[in-house]
Structure 1
Amino acid sequence: MENRRWSDLTSGQRARLLVAASVQLALAATAWADLANRPAAQVNGPKLMWAAIIAVNFVGPIAYFALGRRRREIAG
């Protein structure tokens, strides 16, 4: 695989890269904020472990939202 510089990319490739990076950062920030505000009793496993997993590209935040959070019980 060859190393490509930003200047080697077409404007379409640059736009797709920026969109993908923005989505990744938004997913990670949302997951970390949820993790920080969620009590440890509502997290499946150690919070520190999930904080590290969230940093793994798109897979980490999606895994946290799918598997890391316990469902809140509905009062009533």
Structure 2
Amino acid sequence: MTDHELRHIITKARDAKHGGFGVLSTSEKLAAALVLNRPDWLAEMNYTLAEAIERVGAEWLSLIPEAARALEYEDERAAGNA
């Protein structure tokens, strides 16, 4: 696991959160849906949770909780500054 991969996942999830999927790869879309806890996005892509987990792979999957916490922290900071 690298810091670069974590930043990549956070960036892609942030992009998806603010503007949709755009030109993300399938794995990036699935990772974003998992980070953002969006089972509706998984369903729209015709993926089950188990299939999404398998597709993103063990390395990215291990980064999902940290990425989710980072984005949640960003949201909390933004709300505190509003």
Bigger Rg, structure 1 or 2: 1
| Larger helix percent | 2
TM-score, length basis structure 2 = 0.27
TM-score, length basis structure 1 = 0.28
